[in-house]
Amino acid sequence: MKRVQTAEEREREAKKLRLLEELEDTWLPYLTPKDDEFYQQWQLKYPKLVFREAGSIPEELHKEVPEAFLTLHKHGCLFRDLVRIQGKDVLTPVSRILIGDPGCTYKYLNTRLFTVPWPVKGCTINYTEAEIAAACQTFLKLNDYLQVETIQALEELAIKEKANEDAVPLCMAEFPRAGVGPSCDDEVDLKSRAAYNVTLLNFMDPQKMPYLKEEPYFGMGKMAVSWHHDENLVDRSAVAVYSYSCEGSEDESDDESSFEGRDPDTWHVGFKISWDIETPGLTIPLHQGDCYMTSMPPTSTVFWLAHSLGLAPPTAWQSAQQAPWIISYNAASWHCRMFSMTRTMATSR
């Protein structure tokens, strides 16, 4: 029997079709740091985005996090999921593992994942290998760090709102403390908005994925992750992202393609406002160890995220975290990339 789409799915599909019809044969505009209007647009339309450069992040994390990814991969801890998309059961193109507080779960596309617990006080956890235990401990450490950074960023934005400051994003070299616009009011518990408790790690190898989709709205090239938002995100919750590129992953490519002001050999994160064809999108290059945070707005102005490739690098890791929720793409000793995103989401126990 053919599955009947839900009202929400029908509405989303209708919006997508209307958007594509309005675009016809044109692309939506997007801005990069090379564009004069980039920082002004960031201030006006993406005011809750904060960026930290790698230099402001502890060197210890830059060393331990990639090692933890490689350990889990070496021990075969990541698996492809069977999910349901538009009524069809399919295997995900990436393999993943959910790590986090004991008893938490994450549900997506009619599939529920259960956590491999990281070490927490009051729980006795037996791991099959000491290396796996150490890797889980590392992701808990990363989680704690991102939580502190997120709370600090939210506090900084709240202070700017109170002071009525007209904050403008600083130049790329000053990104470590760049943050703009109002983000929250006094009634919101900042700590609860960054109460990260789950990390979802995903692994993909673009060289083995010739079917990577082309970005449909901006002409950005192939995408590692499609534009998306997660309905399980709590309104006004925060997202923190850590990115890593292994040594040699940013070497020049033989492909001479041009992608409107951005280096196709460098991973980028894209931002756009859902179903909006007037506001330009933003693409920001992610270099080794960079981190960014954003406070999720109400559902009426949800930001959609895409990690896009101009050219697919040899290998990419993805790690994601929920209710808080880390998503990351990680790198190995062969040329690959890692990004890590932490999201506050509703989780189950």
Higher pLDDT pick, 306 / 284: 284
What is the pLDDT, as a whole number, of residue 338?
A: 36
Structure tokens at 120: 């927490």
pLDDT value of position 296 = 60
- For 328, residues 6+ apart whose C-beta sits below 8 A from its C-beta are 201, 202, 241, 242, 243, 244, 317, 318, 319, 320, 321, 338, 339, 340, 341
Pairing of strands 281-285, 30-31: parallel
More confident residue, 347 or 339: 347
| Selection from 84, 332, 66, 89 nearest residue 205 by Cα | 332
Determine the straight-line distance between the first and last CA of the chain, rounded to whole angstroms: 33
Across 251-262, average pLDDT: 46
Q: How far is CA 299 from CA 26, 127, 239, 296, in A?
A: 27, 40, 15, 8
Residue 7 domain flag: no
In a domain? residue 2: no
- If one compares 312 and 347, the residue with the highest pLDDT of the two is 347
Percent of the chain with pLDDT over 70: 64
Confidence of residue 119 (pLDDT cuts 50, 70, 90): very high
Torsion of CA 347, 343, 115, 71, to 10 degrees: 180
User: pTM of the full predicted structure?
Assistant: 0.73
Containing structural domain, residue 88 = 27-343
Neighbour-count burial for 30-66, b at 16+ CB within 10 Å, e otherwise? bbbbebeebbebbbebbbbbbbbbbeebeeebeebbb
Greatest Cα pair distance in the chain: 59
In the predicted structure, residue 40 carries a pLDDT above the cut 80: yes
Residue 267 lies in a domain: yes
**Worst-scoring range by mean pLDDT, 70-74, 150-154, 250-254, 337-341?**
337-341
- Residue 234: which CATH number? 2.60.120.590
Over residues 71-98, the pLDDT tens digits come to: 998 999 989 888 887 788 888 877 889 9
Give the model confidence (pLDDT) of 133-192 as tens digits. 999 999 999 889 988 888 888 888 888 777 765 545 544 434 434 444 444 444 457 777
Question: DSSP readout, 144-207?
Answer: HHHHHHHHHHHHHHHHHHHTT----PPPGGGGGGEE-S----TTS-HHHHT---EEEEEEE-GG
Pairing of strands 116-117, 88-100: parallel
Q: How far apart are CA 65 and CA 331, in angstroms?
A: 10
Say if 348 falls within a structural domain: no
Reply yes or no on whether the pLDDT at 104 is more than 80: yes
Task: Please state the domain count of the chain.
Answer: 1
Query: Residue 94's pLDDT is what?
Result: 77
14 within some domain:
no
| Residue 10 is assigned to a structural domain of this protein | no
Average pLDDT over residues 204-225: 74
4 domain-assigned: no
319 has a pLDDT exceeding 50: no
Helical H runs in 4-124?
A: 7-23, 38-45, 59-74
Whether 83 maps to a domain, the answer reads yes
Average pLDDT value for the chain: 71
CA atoms of 218 and 29, how far apart (whole Å): 6
Instruction: Say how far apart CA 173 and CA 187 lie, in whole Å.
Output: 34
